[in-house]
Structure 1
Amino acid sequence: MKKLIPSLLISSAIILLSGCSEDNMGGDSAASGEKKIKYWVAPMDPTYQRDEPGKSPMGMDLVAVYEEEEESGEKKILYWVAPMDAAYRRDGPGKSPMGMDLIPVYDEGDGLSVKISPAVENNMGVRTAVAEYNKLWRRVDTVGYVDFDENKITHIHLRTKGWIEKLLVKSEGERVKKGQLLFEVYSPELVTAQEEYLQALGTSNRRLITASTERLIALGVSNKQISSLKKSRRIKQYVQVYASQDGIIDNLNVREGMFVMPNKRVMSLADLSSVWILAEVFEKQADWVKEGQGAEVRLSYLPGRTWKGTVEYIYPSLNPKTRTLKVRLRFDNADESLKPNMFAKVTIYAQPKSGIIVIPREAVIRATQNRVILSLGKGRFLPREVVIGIESGDWIEISHGLDEGDVVVTSGQFLLDSEASLKASMKRMTAVPEKKMEGMSEKSEGAKEVRGIIQSVMADHKMVNIKHDPVPELEWPAMTMDFKVADDVDLNSLKADDKIFFDIDKMGDDFVITSIIKHDEMRGN
């Protein structure tokens, strides 16, 4: 029994030692399996990097970036660009001439798309929207002006020449009622016609009486006045003219004592219970408008109020100068709030167009070729040309170029588009097409005596901005761009608008100016 106890103790010790050994081996394995931290970065600014943990300038804890994570998740940075000037590029992080942090541009392999970090995307305020099938109302937004309803206007003329002896209305805009006396006129021809009528009555000749009565009516004498004349048998030197309808006085062209001819308009009576609004519709929207469609009008002097009316008539021809089509709308105006010659904002509701792809109108970058910026996810963006259709309010139809579910950028797209355009242009300038490579020598690595005009000098950055002529040696068109300048080139004597000749050589990935001579200096030599 005594021998058995030591044996058990020895066996237990061996088991414990083996367990400890296994623990140690497991710990070493875990240690060897941990990812190696390459550096620490600020969550909101990927350019702020440190070799050890700490706080960002915004007071946030730095985030660890691991070697494997960086190699698998991050693509190669091609260069760094200024947020507000896509032509300002550098090989490393830094500040733009405006003091803003440069943005990294990643190599995506396709030559067109660009990539920015999530932090920069957030700082740029990039917003997106999804292209979807929907219907758009063909809404025509235009302007117009209020005019009289010409169906409710009466123009007053004399049927014979005479003098205005008594004028009862004194000014335009004065309101009158139907049957109200407007003015009295003296006309020798009217006096003679009355005498002939009374003579005819004395003869009892029905044909003569009828003829003389019709003559008085033709001269503008009312039936009521003829009956009065027949009853009194007394000639009136002054004939009264009465209002034929309710309304207001417009175009009052006479005063008391004036001599008036039949071709002169004395005045007009206008009823404002309904008015016309004459609107101008653009030529491309002319086919949308049909008679009977609903319309709304808003006036700046009565904000918040809307009048509803209809399209009454579409004029048959376009204005050759403005290329617009005139449309006449009719609106009830019982309270006479709509007054002639007022400026109005008009909305005409045409028929809807269904089954079309629509996106917010602000997403479209309008140019010779309209385009949008697609969001591909994970900070990648790609420009795409589109064909636009009708517009309605804040939405626009895309007839070609997008599919349902495509995500487009609605804010910040202009910066992304400029970067993508610059990237494509640089590739066209630096890459040699395969067909051209066959049987041809490579493009020159530099050029001599290029003519240009200095736009700006950035001496602190050893750079100049030059508007230069075409460079056949490099297959460059005439353009304006930034150039790096060699250290031995003196920029102190140069200023904007200087005409120069310069030599340029390719050094690494950049074209560097190695010599600058002013145009005047070369001419002097």
Structure 2
Amino acid sequence: MKSRFVLNAIALAIVGAGLAYGGYWAGSHRKMPETSASASTVSGAAGGKIDPKTGRKVLYWHDPMVPGQKFDKPGKSPFMDMDLVPVYADEAGAEGGVKISPTLQQNLGIRYATVRRAQSTDALEVVGTTQFDESLAEVVQSRITGYIDRLYARAPMQRVKRGERIASLFVPDWIGPQEEYLALKRSGNEALAAASAQRMRALSIPPGLIAKAEQAGKAQDHITLASPVNGVIAELSVRDGAMVSPGMTIAKVAGLDKVWLVAEIPEAMLGSARPGMAAEAMFSGDQRRKYSGRVREILPGVSTATRTVQARLELDNRDGSLTPGMLMRVRLGAEKPVSRLLVPTEAVISTGKRSVVLVAGDNGIQPVTVATGRDIGEETEILTGVMEGQKVVASGQFLIDSEASLKAVLPKLAGTPVPQQQSAPQAAQQSGGQAYHGVGKVEKVSPEGITFSHQPIPELKWPAMTMEFGKPRSDAFPDIKVGQDAKFSFKEGKGGSYVLESVKPSGGGRK
């Protein structure tokens, strides 16, 4: 009965007042229209009035959905279609705060954390992918017109070593100048032979090929092109038998002694990254493999799709363990530590427009808007809003928010006994005032009460719902059975409980 009554009371508050998440805290930060009741501008505007129904001292009246606005007398709420609710002196915390009893704290699982100051480095945890170091790339080009007689590199991404053959070219245009040079050498005319050699160099005939022709005594019509560096064939533009022309790229060879790691840095953290910053990279597939490097440059431009900026890092790869396209975790760190104010990340409530923490102090629990910095592990940096040593709520914030919003229905936050702690006979004896009437179907009968799925009750502005009503005695209404349709009347007991006065079958349902 206890848990069901709590749930029913919560449902009443949500339906009657249009409860929305965050209403308790948000209401204290917006301006309210003028009302028919006189709004109070100071705490305790009611002047210590006594509620004739309860005999308790009233500090002020308010709308639970807009707790920041106080009124000095009862009346209708200008914000919701409901009566203003009194705030009693024995249940109100300090101005703007919420008091949580130790029992409720334990039941809600509320934990506190202390705002602390710690030294940490400007370390960024990002991800990146490896790429070829374009500054180490070399191209193999043809300087003459010829034909690919034989292609030794068969496909892109093939590994090659420095001096390894890429292609063999047949160059028919070199045959005539070489034969002319050899004839002049045999004639003994050194002057003409020197002029012929000069013309061959102008035709891009390599000196080594000329020397080979002199040694062999016949013209050389083939030239072999080799890789200038150790690496892989990044591009291969020709096939066997293809014709090449001066300036045409036959292959592009990418060196692997160093590779680039392009890391994606969130736009908001761009100020924390700079060229020259030390970096440590780990391969996602094997975190034991770590590589050290530095940020070479921050590339201009922000990606509109990911809202990130690319940082180009240079990693040593002389062991050849890195290849392009590898996904890596990157930690960019600074040498000098920085003092920061930290709270657990779970203590920060982000609404999208602002960030809030619940600060616990002598005045109860109060919401405080903070400016957050970066996340460091499981903690978040706080730039403004709180001070070192303050206590903040680390868990149970949303339960506190809900409890505070329902304070008028469930006065547990004031540490007072909840209505369900009373026995039904006691509630019946203390009940009084107006009787209310309803019609509904009996869902459950127990010694403590009867549960009805009842129709709307206009007198209380209740919608149709299922809730339990207390019995005046455990043996009351013995003829009422589950499944019957019944008319019933009830009164409000002390603390907001509802006790049945009469229950009569109305026909229909199970007899």
TM value normalised by structure 1: 0.57
Match of 1:167 in 2: 151
SS in 2 for 1:305: strand
Match of 1:24 in 2: none
Match of 1:499 in 2: none
Task: Tell me, yes or no, if structure 1 residue 208 matches structure 2 residue 200.
Answer: no
Query: How far, CA to CA, are the matches of 2:191 and 2:330 in structure 1?
Result: 64
Match of 1:132 in 2: 116
Match of 1:114 in 2: 98
Task: Tell me, yes or no, if structure 1 residue 305 matches structure 2 residue 292.
Answer: no
1:365 aligned to which of 349, 353, 358: 349
Q: How does 1:54-133 map to 2 (within 5 A)?
A: 87-88=10-11, 107-110=91-94, 112-133=96-117
8 A contact 1:146–1:342 mirrored in 2: yes
Query: How far, CA to CA, are the matches of 2:463 and 2:184 in structure 1?
Result: 104
Query: How far, CA to CA, are the matches of 1:197 and 1:210 in structure 2?
Result: 7
Query: How far, CA to CA, are the matches of 1:194 and 1:420 in structure 2?
Result: 99
Query: How far, CA to CA, are the matches of 1:222 and 1:462 in structure 2?
Result: 104
SS in 1 for 2:288: coil
Query: How far, CA to CA, are the matches of 1:194 and 1:373 in structure 2?
Result: 90
8 A contact 2:168–2:225 mirrored in 1: yes
SS in 2 for 1:386: strand
Match of 2:372 in 1: 388
8 A contact 1:183–1:242 mirrored in 2: yes
- Between 1 and 2, higher relative CO (CA 8 Å, sep ≥ 6) is seen in 2
SS in 2 for 1:319: coil
Match of 1:188 in 2: 172
Q: Deviations over 1:346-372 (max 9, x none)?
A: 111136563432212222111122001
Query: Displacement, 1:257?
Result: 2.0
8 A contact 1:383–1:417 mirrored in 2: no
Task: Tell me, yes or no, if structure 1 residue 239 matches structure 2 residue 223.
Answer: yes
Q: Which amino acid aligns with 1:370?
A: S
Query: How far, CA to CA, are the matches of 1:186 and 1:140 in structure 2?
Result: 55
Q: Which amino acid aligns with 1:304?
A: R
Query: Displacement, 1:197?
Result: 5.8
Consecutive unaligned residues of structure 1, counting only runs of 5 or more, are: 1-46, 49-78, 91-105, 427-457, 467-480, 493-505, 511-525
Q: Deviations over 1:90-112 (max 9, x none)?
A: 8xxxxxxxxxxxxxxx9333475
8 A contact 1:389–1:397 mirrored in 2: yes
Give the 3 Å change call, closer, same or farther, for CA 249–485 of structure 1 in structure 2: closer
Q: Deviations over 1:183-212 (max 9, x none)?
A: 211233444564576578666248735642
Task: Tell me, yes or no, if structure 1 residue 224 matches structure 2 residue 208.
Answer: yes
Match of 1:95 in 2: none
SS in 1 for 2:294: strand
Query: Displacement, 1:374?
Result: 2.0
8 A contact 1:162–1:188 mirrored in 2: yes
SS in 1 for 2:135: helix
8 A contact 1:136–1:353 mirrored in 2: yes
Percent of aligned positions that are identical? 29
Query: How far, CA to CA, are the matches of 1:424 and 1:311 in structure 2?
Result: 58
Task: Tell me, yes or no, if structure 1 residue 402 matches structure 2 residue 389.
Answer: no
Q: Deviations over 1:407-449 (max 9, x none)?
A: 11222223223444566999xxxxxxxxxxxxxxxxxxxxxxx
Match of 1:375 in 2: 360
2:272 aligned to which of 288, 306, 325: 288
8 A contact 1:81–1:89 mirrored in 2: no
Q: Which amino acid aligns with 2:169?
A: V
Query: How far, CA to CA, are the matches of 2:261 and 2:216 in structure 1?
Result: 49
TM value normalised by structure 2: 0.58
Query: Displacement, 1:376?
Result: 3.4
Q: Which amino acid aligns with 2:354?
A: Q
Query: How far, CA to CA, are the matches of 1:236 and 1:192 in structure 2?
Result: 10
Task: Tell me, yes or no, if structure 1 residue 259 matches structure 2 residue 237.
Answer: no
SS in 2 for 1:169: coil
Give the 3 Å change call, closer, same or farther, for CA 205–321 of structure 1 in structure 2: farther
8 A contact 1:294–1:310 mirrored in 2: yes
Consecutive unaligned residues of structure 2, counting only runs of 5 or more, are: 14-89, 411-441, 445-450, 457-461, 469-482, 484-491, 497-511
Q: Which amino acid aligns with 2:317?
A: N
1:275 aligned to which of 240, 251, 259: 259
8 A contact 2:177–2:196 mirrored in 1: no
Match of 1:156 in 2: 140
Query: How far, CA to CA, are the matches of 1:289 and 1:147 in structure 2?
Result: 20
User: Between Structure 1 and Structure 2, how many residues are aligned?
Assistant: 358
Q: How does 1:443-522 map to 2 (within 5 A)?
A: none
SS in 1 for 2:349: coil
SS in 1 for 2:236: coil
User: What is the RMSD computed on CA atoms of the aligned residues?
Assistant: 4.6
